[in-house]
Structure 1
Amino acid sequence: MNAGSWFSRRSIKVKLIVILLAAALSSILLTGALSQYFYMKAAKNDFYQFADDASYRLNRQIELYFQQMKISVSTLIAGPLPERNDFTRNRGKAGIIQNWLVSGGAVTPTYPADIEDVLNNYVALNYSEVDSLFLMSLDGRAISNIQRFDEISKSYMKEPWYGLEMMSDLKLLPTHRSQVTGKNVISMLVPVYSTETMKLAGRLVMNLKISELEKTIVRSSFAKKGYFFIVSKEGTIVYHPDSAMIGQSLQSTSLAGLKFDTASSVQPVQGQEMLVAYNTSELTGWKVVAMVPFEVMASGVTVARNAMIVAMLGLAAMVLIVVPVIAQRFTSPLRKLKQLMEHVEKGNLDMRAEVVPGKDEIQLLSRSYNRMTRQLHEYIETIGSMKVNEMQMLLRQKEAMIQALQNQINPHLLYNTLEIINSLAYIEKNERIQVIAKNLGDYYRYTASIVEPVVSLREEISQVKKYLEIVKIRFPRHFQSRFYVHEKYLDVLIVKCSLQPIIENTVKYAVEPSGGHGTVIVSAYNEAQDLIIEIADNGKGISDGKLAQLQQRLNIITMQDNKTLIRSESLGIVNVHARLVLQYGSKYGLTITSFENRGTVVSIRIPFLTERPANK
């Protein structure tokens, strides 16, 4: 049983309770849903705006930090100057770092130690977050501040920066574990140019502890349970509050499902909906990502949801208590009317409803019920029987009229006599009499059969052609007949014996008076959903007075298609028009157009039908 069937079988009292309860709860649910939707939307927008600003500022701070570190090593790269008795031939006053980079290894024994001291002094006097420094030449030589030149191992060759191509721009390698110190560091690769040739001479590699970066990010943390982390463009985690993730590929951690298709979105992370926003650094290409649990930003929704539940329970209780009492007042009179209608259903029209003065709709309904039963009692037998009898009478009258007109046009001749004449003509070899007798006999058989009221246009034209063959034998020299009917129209149905009477009138009034000098043309064309058949002659036409009388008779028949048709002794145009109107309706029938001394055109309009109506 579907919901509609169940509801329709309930009482008005139950329906009122269900409707009011549904309306109240729907209103609360709709209000709650809209409030939650717009609150969530506002919370998301606020987060996205705040996170975008915060990540942008954090990105700028990190970029500024790296830029400052790059500037701070510029004096280190340029100096200090060597002693005059050192390796200075053809090198002017270039610093020891410059000389070592371009020396190709031919240096004094003290140069490496001096450079190590310079690097150590820089670290000690400037930045405590520097883990280690490496100076690397174009030919692969390297000096570090943490190992003596004569003790340095080849472990630096396993560093990710060692095998990289020398570049003319600053480059940052994301967090990785140093093979020399074993700590997680960020490598800043600073290109070093020769002060003499201004060409690239090597690079200074500064391995930075992430402690300073961590201090900056921790200071920028926001919201409860919210945090920042940094992802390199290669997908490595540069920084994360969980130190175990630092240096790992993003796809190998619990954050593997994160997508960075849009700058801000809501994404599931470890089964929890998270608000995610990020900003990409122009200097490093790293993404500073801000994340916060969605439920933290939308904590106010829980309060609103609880308030909505309380309101729903209160309204439901009120509806269940108040509505039955109110419904009882309205349903009691309706139940009485229902009982009265059951009596009417059984045929008892003498029962009356109790009416209380007033404008209550139920009282008005009771008065209407009393009037209805009185009127039904007075008219149900007389009016009902009259209508049924009248309709039956009109149907019988229409069927009888069609049958009478059909019988009226059928000739009462004995076509067997024509068969005898045809046989005698055949024996005596008189072909013209034989053709006349045969065609006339076929036509009598055709008109005598009234089993089917409609036939195809093909059958009608076939009979008309036989009649015109007889006329041609009578007027062999000058009489002509033409048929211009397309093959696609020949299956259209038409009332039987519709063309023949019109053709006979044409021969009688247009061909015979002129001694056979005449032409009959039959054509057809479609117009919308109808078929128009035209029968034209080149006779003297019909006078205006006679044409007006004839048209008036046709109009009277058209106006009385649902009434008793006027009696007509005519076997021609009027008869055909009457049968067409009775068969198809007042829209169809004959139209006559005549031109004095030029001829007459009779148009037959019938519906474009090719399927015979089913027998009733």
Structure 2
Amino acid sequence: MKVSAIIDAYRHMNIRNKLSLLLTSVVLVSLAFTIAVQRYAFSLYDGQIYEKSSRVLNLSSTAIETELKRLEQLSYNLVADAQIQKWLTSLKDNPSGYDTLLVRQQLTDRLFSYSGSESYVYSIQIFDAGGGEHAGGNIRPFSLGKFKEITRIANEAQGENRWIFPDSSDDALIAAREIRSFTNTQFDLRNLGTLVLRINLKRIAHDLASGEGDLMIVSEEGVIYADKPTPNLENLPLSTGKQRGYVITELGGEQYFVAYRRSPDSGWTYLNLTPFRQIFEQILFIKELVVFVFVGIFLVVIVLVLRFSRNITHPIYDLIGRMKLAEKGNFEEANFAPAGEGPVVMNEIGLLQRTFRLMIERINRLIKENYSNRLLIKETEFKALQAQINPHFLYNTLESINWMAKVNKQDRISTMVEALAFLLRQSVDMKRPMITLEEELDIVRSYVTIQTIRFEERLDFRMDVPERFFRLALPKLTLQPLLENAIHYALEPTIEPCRITLRAWETDSDIRLAVEDTGPGIPAGTLERLKSGELLTKGKGIGLLNIDERIKIAFGEEYGIRLENTEGGGARVILALPRDKEE
């Protein structure tokens, strides 16, 4: 959808929706901005926590690795001890005899002296070349499989130290090293045995690690040490190439803040696992509280916006409804205040409503006064006519004349009397103010019949009205007075024949009826002078002004009479009537 179409749709949106959309957008933008600032603040807080955890983890890992290096140096000192080298060489060369027992006892005593001075060492064990075991400290026997694995790993290292991680059978960290012969007198690097140090890694971590959270040490082979049962390792940052950092991840169904550091010396990864809720409990509460408060504010603002927009638009819609009623002419209902409606608030819309009601009230009063006055005038005129002529007596008299004319075979008199009776009936019958063009043409024919008998060949009347216009509605006695005016002003003043034509045609906007004559014509501005009162009519019948007013009242101001002169010098009176008005 194009931006211009969206802008155009917003411009044409009603005020209520526009206000609601605008205020809601402001609240949403404020909410989004607050959440963004909140997230930024929390990210800064995460960074500060990481820096603190990283420093603590760095100190802890350095202390642990320093201690392990010292113990690794201890294992080297043991294998390099000249006395131990001498005793192991003696046991290799003379595996039996009394001297061998003394050597074994001396070797065991030496190992006890070493292990007794090391608080982080469970035991020190030496397996000589003949498979004999010499140990000092808290000794835990190995299974045959474990012993073979330790011996294999030590032999593959060829004198270097190797770490064997704790397992389900032994929770000690084992430092294993092959013992080779390299005394001053003999440097043949013969295998004299295997040294095994069982180290209390848990105590080292407990004494040297500091800070909150759980410590975990892992390598590529798996977990070396963990304060608590090992969680799912899939989400831990073990494969990342970074040397240090932090992540927030889920372990065992709970979120953790994990700071990590990879040791460049051992290749081990030290992790500090802190339950996320433990360090962020207050922050999470504040975050959730802020979200709930903003959602509550948003809902309250939406309700207030809807009420506010309704308070603005409801009076406008009410005013529009009243205007539509007034447009249809229903002024009474347009000015009617519904039951239970409070006093009008005197703001801009209230003043507009009050002004509109006053205007409608005045218009309605003027219409009523005008309508009453016109009814009174019409009633007075009608009563005056009734007082002058008794229609029934007149009809009966005309019937008698018509009968006598027919008896005496006076056809012209009979035709004239019948036409006059028809005209009188139509003139007096006011029950139908609107009739069809076909009925109006019947009145015209009766009138022309009388005038033809009167003027004979001097009156040349012609009519050209298509039958498709016969259902057209128009006020009663509209065309007959126009013919009467044409005869009065065009035919009577001369002795020459006069042609009067009645015709009808259709335009793009209306239907036209015209009465044309070949008389002297009409002075310019006659209709306007009649309307202004400058020109008084001499006739005693229904005048042009009366016909024009009735058409405008019936159909609107755009319809009515227009006067013009023809090219031959005669007059033309044109009636404009609506196309879609039928009886």
Normalised by the shorter chain, which TM-score bucket? 0.3 to 0.5
Bigger-Rg structure (1/2):
2
TM-score (norm 2): 0.45
TM-score (norm 1): 0.43
Q: Quick check: which one's helix share is greater?
A: 2
